[in-house]
Structure 1
């Protein structure tokens, strides 16, 4: 942060505060982990395959299997259904002992409407505001979590226009809210149509498995996204953003092995193959 509009340097106190914050975050360990994957029952983008990809990522990281929330065609208030599941998970993380991490995954259709991030089953059918009923719950502007709560959240938005959510300016604070999403370079009208291509969840899982086979012992989501963005073979380009905090929640760091480390070491086991598919 600049001291005033006429200077391009920061004060010693500002620099010290920034360093202390970074050191504090880097030396934190997660004692508890929670995960949720959301999709529509009548989805037409093969989102169920990306749920499997997300479960694969969690397994490689040694994290618990995600709860799967499948929104039913008969649900007339899907937003409230999502909010209920998110609030339950946020509350469990908030009251848990030690530092907690939440990983939330959405796969399916989405679009932007007058600044609102909307998710829908098919062709704008039964839209819900995913920003209000899901993403915003992790931020300080909601009443579910405050900066004093030791809960970091990572969102995987495997849908078009998810990149808009990652553009939000980061809020200050010790907590981390991180977003991994797809760019919007392919029109939403192409959803569910050929040619076949990988989704964001799929290419992240494949890249993690490649690194695992090469002997990597840790992973950082921001680094994964940066590496994938530089490859011409990637059809759906991932993006990464922070809406709270100063660094990725999943990053290199060797910490207490009795808790879940920020480096999230790969278990020494083979993982199933993740195939490419039509989104």
Structure 2
């Protein structure tokens, strides 16, 4: 297991729990689907437009990749570069939404590929992520351009520990690691779920919506195909205003309309801890817990220090993909052992039980 340093843990956690406050002056969006599609992608495009309208953003350009297109990757990349160029050159902060509806699969090299019903395809990293993340030849860290990819298909992305000012997020119907069959199925699409959840929150009087929290809610209520959320760049999730609550009353909290999804995850740290280090870490976690739901539940000394955390799932997804961090489980039920329960020791067992 790879590991991080204690300082890297502090920086990433502190970044993850902070709401990303950004007043976007400009919004851009584009939706891609295939002409030879058999996944009802046109319905997902409509849901995507509804999602944008509910958020008060500009509607999306709709790009249908034609059946006779011999270079679909270039078609997609050219469209994306044009939007990124407009976003970068516009004064003020910009947000860009990129939507795809259709089939996805892993190729023979394990890379995520989007495919048409007639065999056309393009690699997702080359067409999308190479152009938008930290290696982007078009956007540097000073660019005021945040990006959200919504894949009504499989999705995957990793992130790095280097602090970045820009944010790039990926929301998808399923993780590519679950890609045993092409996605999506005939069940309700992730785009429809997103549009429905944002509309529900707006009607409930929410003043803002954070994308990581929306996905956490959808995972909690989705019995089978669980949507995924990854922060590919920036360590935070985009938070957008809904601008509906003008009554002067406090905004509704998430607990008003969502089941709580908790993530239990491990963090491996290079540093060896003294008792003073442990006491300082516990005090720091308590400070964090005043802002969000997070607690350190176990600490083990192995070849590295192994920390076990419980936190809102939306916090975990902002850390997922970083080295040294791994998900143990997610649950809506919480810890079934009460804090005052004493662990069962060997000395508590009968002689027959010890022999088992």
- Ranges in structure 2 where 5+ consecutive residues have no aligned partner: 247-356
Matched-pair contact (CA < 8 Å) for 1:198–1:236: no
Determine helix, strand or coil for the equivalent of 2:208. coil
Matched-pair contact (CA < 8 Å) for 2:33–2:100: yes
Alpha-carbon distance, 1:15 to partner:
6.0
CA distance in 2, matches of 1:142, 1:190: 28
Per the alignment, residue 263 of structure 1 pairs with 241
TM normalised by structure 1 equals 0.77
Determine helix, strand or coil for the equivalent of 1:241. strand
Q: How do 1:228-243 residues align onto structure 2 when only pairs under 5 Å count?
A: 228-231=218-221, 233-243=222-232
Matched-pair contact (CA < 8 Å) for 1:152–1:177: yes
Alpha-carbon distance, 1:170 to partner:
6.0
Distance 1:242 1:150, change over 3 A: same
Alpha-carbon distance, 1:18 to partner:
8.2
Per the alignment, residue 110 of structure 2 pairs with 115
Per the alignment, residue 44 of structure 2 pairs with 50
Q: How do 1:133-144 residues align onto structure 2 when only pairs under 5 Å count?
A: 133-144=127-138
Per the alignment, residue 173 of structure 1 pairs with 164
Which range moved further: 25-34 or 70-79? Answer: 25-34
Q: Which entry has the higher C-alpha Rg, 1 or 2? A: 2
Alpha-carbon distance, 1:263 to partner:
2.3
Which range moved further: 237-246 or 183-192? Answer: 183-192
Q: Deviations over 1:9-45 (max 9, x none)?
A: 439xx9689869987x834311111000000011111
CA distance in 2, matches of 1:84, 1:58: 22
Determine helix, strand or coil for the equivalent of 1:197. coil
Alpha-carbon distance, 1:109 to partner:
0.5
Determine helix, strand or coil for the equivalent of 1:172. coil
Determine helix, strand or coil for the equivalent of 1:10. helix
Q: Please tell me the root mean square deviation across aligned C-alpha atoms, in Å.
A: 2.9
Distance 1:170 1:156, change over 3 A: farther
Q: How do 1:106-255 residues align onto structure 2 when only pairs under 5 Å count?
A: 106-113=100-107, 114-122=109-117, 125-160=119-154, 162=155, 165-169=156-160, 172-184=163-175, 185=178, 187-189=180-182, 191=184, 196-231=186-221, 233-249=222-238, 251=239
Distance 1:22 1:239, change over 3 A: closer
Distance 1:99 1:21, change over 3 A: farther
Give 1:78's match in structure 2, choosing from 59, 72, 82.
Answer: 72
Alpha-carbon distance, 1:245 to partner:
0.5
Per the alignment, residue 84 of structure 2 pairs with 90
Distance 1:168 1:188, change over 3 A: farther
Highest RCO, 1 vs 2 (Cα 8 Å, sep ≥ 6): 1
Distance 1:109 1:149, change over 3 A: same
Matched-pair contact (CA < 8 Å) for 1:199–1:236: no
CA distance in 1, matches of 2:150, 2:192: 11
Distance 1:191 1:241, change over 3 A: closer
Matched-pair contact (CA < 8 Å) for 1:39–1:47: yes
CA distance in 2, matches of 1:21, 1:40: 36
Matched-pair contact (CA < 8 Å) for 2:157–2:170: yes
Distance 1:130 1:267, change over 3 A: farther
Distance 1:200 1:141, change over 3 A: same
Determine helix, strand or coil for the equivalent of 1:157. strand
Q: Deviations over 1:90-129 (max 9, x none)?
A: 0001111011110000010011221322111026x01111
Distance 1:90 1:267, change over 3 A: farther
Matched-pair contact (CA < 8 Å) for 1:39–1:108: yes
Per the alignment, residue 10 of structure 1 pairs with 7
